[in-house]
Chain A
Amino acid sequence: MNKKYIVILAGLLILLSGCSVNHRTKADLYPLMYSQRPLTILILPPENYSTAPEAKEYFLSTLSETSSQTGYYILPLEVTTSFLKSEGLYDSEIISDSVLPQFKEYFGADAVLITKITEWDKGYLGISGNVSVALEFYLKSTTTSEVLWNSQSRVEIDTSSDSDNFLGQLIETAIQTATTDYVPIAKMASTNAYETMPVGKYHLRFDMDQEDDMDELLKKSNKKY
């Protein structure tokens, strides 16, 4: 039993340490993140291209938590969103690059995060079906309007009761018992999307991730459950 345990642990360690060589790094793909060094991020209201009109508000409710883990100062999302609403900027699709410097002036934001919900679907609860969320993230500089970083993520969970997908069953149970619906899936999707983002000042690995292997990270951020 002890031996088995060690073998499994060794396997996990190898997976975690990422064993491939000569791959693209974070600094190769997102050089502007390291040269411009944004610190403060304003998250704009999500653009919703899914078939679920409620997705925008629901997705927003999970974003503060997941975004804070990137180590940037994320402006108070609930408050900035109601502020933007009152200024008629809730439909962020209409925000053009020419407005971006104002986010620097009035919000102190070095960059804005544009999020797009491209999929937000679920099968009927209790009956076999899939729950899926797909997102696109773009981080744009408020001074140069350049895209500093972008990422995509799609999480699909097979909740069919005859499925032997362990995680799927776990989440199905969570959904049925806790009325939390999309919270765990939306969180998972944005956490995955953030995998590739160079981390900010408040993160323990700040300035230590330039050499991180992007191919490994991309594989991680697009896994299917």
Chain B
Amino acid sequence: MKKFIILLILGVALLTGCVNSQYYWGNYSYTLYKYKKTQTEDNLEKHKLCIEKVIRKSEAKEKKVPPGIYCEYGYYLIMEGDAVQGLEYFDKEVNTYPESETFINTLKTQLELEKEQSDE
């Protein structure tokens, strides 16, 4: 009976869309969901740690870091005032996914504008 249940679980897992291991996402959706539910610094920190883990594990497994991850991490860094490191992550996004270049350039322009406005 136990074996049967295990097979059933495997079957359901297979049928629900052949688990695709193209990217490693870790707990990304969960930590982001929790942050959206309760927007505290602590929850944002946990989400950032999760992204760091996604980057680390993907690199270790020689998988491509999922689309958008480098950019999102860089964005958080810039929001916290670490523009230099943030921009490095933007470049990593472009190097991994050249399609992102147009948006990253738009984003840089926008962030620069915001900075100028807050400087005034």
Contact = CB atoms under 8 A, between A and B. Distances in A.
Interface stretch (A21-29, A71-79, A117-125): A71-79
Nearest to B109: A106
Nearest to A67: B67
A61 B23 contact: no
Given A12-B14, A73-B99, A188-B16, A204 B33 contact: no
Which among B15, B17, B28, B68 has the highest number of chain A CB atoms within 10 Å? B68
Nearest to B69: A76
Contacts of A107: 102-103, 106
Given A73-B97, A75-B68, A106 B103 contact: yes
A192 interface: yes
B64 interface: yes
A65 B68 contact: no
Interface residues of B, number: 42
A106 B109 CA distance: 11
Given A69-B20, A191-B17, A202-B22, A64 B110 contact: no
A136 interface: no
A127 interface: no
Contacts of B68: 64, 68, 74-79
A17 B92 CA distance: 39
Contacts of A69: 20, 22-23
Interface in B1-55: 3-5, 7-8, 11-12, 14-17, 20, 22-23, 25, 28-30, 32-37
B100 to A, nearest CB: 7
B66 A68 contact: yes
Contacts of A71: 22
A57 B67 contact: no
A8 B17 CA distance: 19
A94 interface: no
B110 to A, nearest CB: 7
Nearest to B51: A78
B99 A62 contact: no
Interface string A170-205: 000000001111110001100110110000001110
A61 B32 contact: yes
Contact of A78 (B4, B32, B101, B103): B32
A108 B104 CA distance: 9
B66 A73 contact: no
Interface in A41-100: 54, 57-58, 60-62, 64-65, 68-69, 71, 73-80, 82-83, 86
23 contacts: A8-B4, A8-B7, A40-B100, A54-B37, A61-B33, A64-B29, A65-B28, A68-B25, A68-B67, A68-B68, A73-B67, A73-B100, A75-B68, A75-B100, A78-B32, A78-B68, A78-B72, A105-B102, A107-B106, A109-B103, A192-B17, A202-B64, A202-B67
4 smallest beta-carbon distances between A and B, as pairs: A108-B102, A76-B68, A76-B71, A61-B32
